[in-house]
Chain A
Amino acid sequence: MKDQQRPRKLNQATDEERDPIISKLLMHLQEMRESVPINYRLKQDLKKRLLEQMKQMNMTNVEIESTKPMKNNRKRLSIIMVVVGVFLAIMLFIGLKTDVSIAKWQQLSIPSMDPMIDADLSPKDDRIVLLSQSHLSFYNKEGDKENTISLPSAKGKIVGIEWSPLGHEVAWVVTDDHHTSVWLTNIGTNSSRLVWQGSPTTYDGMDWSTPDWLLASLGEEVWKISTVSSEMTLAFTGTEPSGSPNGELIALHHGGEIEVWDRDGKLIRKVGKGQHPVWIENDFLFFVDERGDTAVVHPVAEKMKVKKGPALHGEGKILFIRLSDDRKRVLVGRVQSDELHLWKGQVRK
């Protein structure tokens, strides 16, 4: 092969290289070149050495490669930490936010011949029911009276009502010298049925935990009463029960304080002095503090902070606070000049 290529090489040479003496020189140089001994032992040894070095370099390379994910992980970790930080900040902001407000206050001027005892919003916020001593009066959003349902037990003192979550029934409590009774009146059929009756006791509010179960504060105790059977159980000690929208927590008033319990009967937190607790959301509780101002609290937060809540329009003692099912409408009953006045507002969060 080499012999075949030499002529080609020479054919490619310049004219000067084709000079006979130079051609002879070139031939001699090539022969001289090939006379130079090659150190093949060095070639072997150096190959081993290079191989070792390449192994080390490869390991270093692998280490470099392996540190890249670590760097990436660090970067990811930093990003995650930033995201978590932002998330925590947002959560903290939400947790501490005090910008829950109630706007568009409107005093309901509902013509009623009888003194109003209690009132409630329908679950869809499309109606209001007023309780008087002998009947239930239903009004639409415009304040027009839609219908009236006479209550069967007019002998005792009717003390409170609560619209059922499904909207077709209203629970009400009546007490007389012999009994305290819980009734359900079907709005569609105007029929009423007794779901519980006991010895006369005080009444301090109701709430539906589910469509079939009613939480009623009777005698400083919160009873869980089935509306489809005769079953009832003592759930908590306290008054003014309010179940969170998801049914996981129950807030109540006990010993002058607001307490939050879970559905299994475990005390989650004592919020502080106050009354009329209602849940704005699953995690946020709205109540009236000991000074008569509203407050908002995240009772399950690790570091709970009670913040000032939205101002309630009007003057006078707050008798009750009701929220629609979507928690966007609030109905406040205040006693002014021995009369119950209703204020309706829009909750802004």
Chain B
Amino acid sequence: MLASTRMGWGGRRIGLATNQAHSSENTDMSNNSCDQNLEERDFGELYDEYFDRVNRYLRCRANNVWDADDLTTTVFLKALEKFHQYDRRNPFASWIFRIAHNTFIDYLRKKKEYPLEPTSWVFEESDETWQPERQVLDKEQIEFLHEKLSRLTGDQRDVLTLRYFADLKISQVAEVLGKSESAIKMIAFRGMKQLQQLVKGCEQG
């Protein structure tokens, strides 16, 4: 993708690519972009790369797609505002997902004050931008997993969603949640075991 506009801000490039075409799914479980020692891409390039992951993460966690999209908007507006504070020696993924996670925590606090009826995000096909080409699980399977995830503890949900939905490394999850890597590994292990038992129980039942 060509970045056609680049603007300076705080001495750093925050150019935003103006390519109007839908970006393809460009994230995967690998984290090659975060392996760079020094992040040199501008905000536009990072936005293009990380929007999908952030949006997906928040759609997994929020009660409905509308809240998730609002949260995604909030995350990138905050990121742009604070981009000059971003230390390029650290992975952008950790930085943007810390914002995303904190935004989600704020969302949960407000949701406690003003609870809304949860709606399913998986089965909403009214979103015309939805491109379910990679959907390999059926509705029941996805709903099943989502329901099991919701039965985990908050820490376990945080770690597993960040680890497997946001596609972060253990070290990055640790950085986002402000915990040690060993603690994250332990939480992830227990979460997976818990999830395993929940799935086993259902399969046995």
Contacts and interface: CB of A to CB of B under 8 A. Distances in A.
B26 to A, nearest CB: 10
A53 B189 CA distance: 42
A14 B164 contact: no
Interface string A11-44: 0001011010110011011111111111111111
B72 A46 contact: yes
Interface string B183-195: 0010001001101
A38 B7 contact: no
Contacts of B17: 47
A2 B134 CA distance: 12
A5 B129 contact: no
A35 B196 CA distance: 21
A50 interface: yes
B74 to A, nearest CB: 10
Interface residues of B, number: 63
User: Which one of A25, A32, A36, A37 has the greatest number of beta carbons of chain B within 10 Å?
Assistant: A36
Interface in B55-72: 55-56, 59-60, 65, 69, 72
B72 A39 contact: yes
Contact of A35 (B14, B76, B132, B167): B132
Contacts of A29: 145, 160, 164-165
Given A9-B29, A51-B18, A25 B7 contact: no
A38 B8 contact: no
B28 A46 contact: no
Interface string B109-135: 000000000000110100111111011
Contacts of B199: 21, 25
Interface string A119-148: 000000000000000000000000000000
A33 B135 CA distance: 9
Given A40-B22, A41-B129, A26 B164 contact: yes
Contact of B192 (A8, A16, A34, A35): A16
Interface stretch (A54-62, A223-231, A317-325): A54-62
Contacts of A21: 196, 199-200
A50 B47 CA distance: 10
Given A35-B136, A39-B69, A25 B192 contact: yes
A61 B122 contact: no
B51 A43 contact: yes
Given A29-B160, A40-B129, A51 B69 contact: no
Contact of B55 (A5, A43, A50): A43
A42 B122 contact: no
A7 B48 CA distance: 26
Interface string A320-339: 00000000000000000000
A58 B7 contact: yes
Nearest to A45: B73
B61 to A, nearest CB: 10
B181 to A, nearest CB: 12
Given A30-B29, A50-B47, A58-B9, A38 B135 contact: no
A113 interface: no
A41 B164 CA distance: 24
A58 B84 CA distance: 12
A6 B134 CA distance: 15
B42 to A, nearest CB: 10
Nearest to A52: B16
User: Which one of A38, A41, A50 has the greatest number of beta carbons of chain B within 10 Å?
Assistant: A38
A98 to B, nearest CB: 58
A2 B146 CA distance: 23
Contact of A32 (B5, B69, B145, B192): B145
Given A35-B134, A38-B130, A53-B80, 10 more contacts: A2-B29, A28-B145, A33-B167, A34-B134, A35-B132, A35-B142, A38-B59, A39-B55, A39-B127, A46-B72
7 contacts: A21-B196, A37-B59, A37-B132, A39-B69, A47-B47, A53-B80, A61-B9
